[in-house]
Structure 1
Amino acid sequence: MSSTPKPEVGVGVFLLKGNKVLLGRRRTAVGHGTFALPGGHLEFGESFEDCAAREVKEETGLDITGIEIMTVTNNVLSEPKLVQLIAILMRASLVDPNQIPVNLEPEKCNGWDWYDWNDLPKPLFGPLETAFRNGLNPFPPS
């Protein structure tokens, strides 16, 4: 068996409210202390849209709709282990705009909050930082 690291595929979801985006501070080893979109690893045979809906529900309790692909990032992260993360970044809407995110995985996240897109907290998780630096605007044209 090879010990060469293999790329991993993750899905992150932009949930938007006004000019704000939902982010949580990671407690996991990879990206510890960084702010990230809700999301997680793609399971074998799963569509990106199904992964997005499943991960958002598992992490925040929120139900989403209108899921669409925004961009793809390719990040090589070295701490605490070497990993190449291919991140499919999606955008979705809340089924119920009044629903409030709940931290359902406190061992993985310090909690969820809405942050102004023009004043994001630092540091950002690698894939989100890459998308931001590349000029991604997750907000639909008005």
Structure 2
Amino acid sequence: MSDKKSFSPIIGVGVLIWRGDQILLGKRISEEQNVCWQFPGGHLEKDESVIECASREVAEETGLKVKALRHLGYTDEVFSVSQCQYITLFVSCDFESGEPMALEADKCEVWQWFDYGQLPTPLFRPIEIFISQQIRLQQNNLYDLHCKTPFALNM
């Protein structure tokens, strides 16, 4: 039996919205990291699927319409300041229509499109971890961030 206290991790959903080869990021103020750049997203609500959460959060935060939502992966991080375990589930989708607006001005200053190879810094820590994981997978031809092509295992 473990001496560790029982706790529930926080489950968040991060949404990679693609417009061609560009991705949407918002300049946010968070409790953990002051100002940082982050994908649209938020906390998973009771009885809500990950895809439903992703769609809801994108609409609430940016006003955008998206399509073809797909599961991507996850990160599992313990924030040093709060000692809180934060699991972020990432979803990829395609931009459908609209102009990104900062609809939650108390949380996000601005939304901007960036080329994937030229992302701003600092990034929200779960995004940094996720990107480093994906780079390793892509180097081994295991993953496509657009999630449009099947895995190619080199065995």
What range is the shorter-chain TM-score in?
0.7 to 0.9
Q: Which residue of 1 aligns with 2:91?
A: 90
Tell me, in whole angstroms, the C-alpha distance in 2 between the residues paired with 1:29 and 1:120: 22
Tell me, in whole angstroms, the C-alpha distance in 1 between the residues paired with 2:134 and 2:67: 25
The higher radius of gyration belongs to: 2
Higher normalized contact order (CA 8 Å, seq sep 6+, divided by chain length): 1
Tell me, in whole angstroms, the C-alpha distance in 2 between the residues paired with 1:43 and 1:77: 21
**Paired AA for residue 95 in structure 2:** L
Tell me, in whole angstroms, the C-alpha distance in 2 between the residues paired with 1:29 and 1:47: 25
The answer to whether 1:76 aligns with 2:68 is: no
Which among 64, 67, 83 is matched to residue 65 of structure 1? 67
Deviation string, structure 1 residues 84-124 (Cα, Å, up to 9, x no partner): 1111100112232xx21000011001110011111111111
Q: Show structure 1 runs of 4+ deviating over 4 A.
A: none
- Normalised by the size of structure 2, how large is the TM-score? 0.80
- Unpaired runs of at least 5, structure 1: none
Question: Cα RMSD (Å) of the superposition?
Answer: 1.9
Query: In the TM superposition, what are the counterparts of 1:45-56 in structure 2 within 5 Å?
Result: 45-56=47-58
- Normalised by the size of structure 1, how large is the TM-score? 0.87
Q: Which residue of 2 aligns with 1:34?
A: 36
Tell me, in whole angstroms, the C-alpha distance in 1 between the residues paired with 2:26 and 2:85: 21
Count residues in correspondence.
137
Greater mean deviation of Cα atoms: 112-121 or 127-136 = 127-136
- Unpaired runs of at least 5, structure 2: 136-143, 150-155
Q: What percentage of residue pairs aligned between the two structures are identical?
A: 35
Q: Which residue of 2 aligns with 1:115?
A: 114
Tell me, in whole angstroms, the C-alpha distance in 1 between the residues paired with 2:83 and 2:147: 35
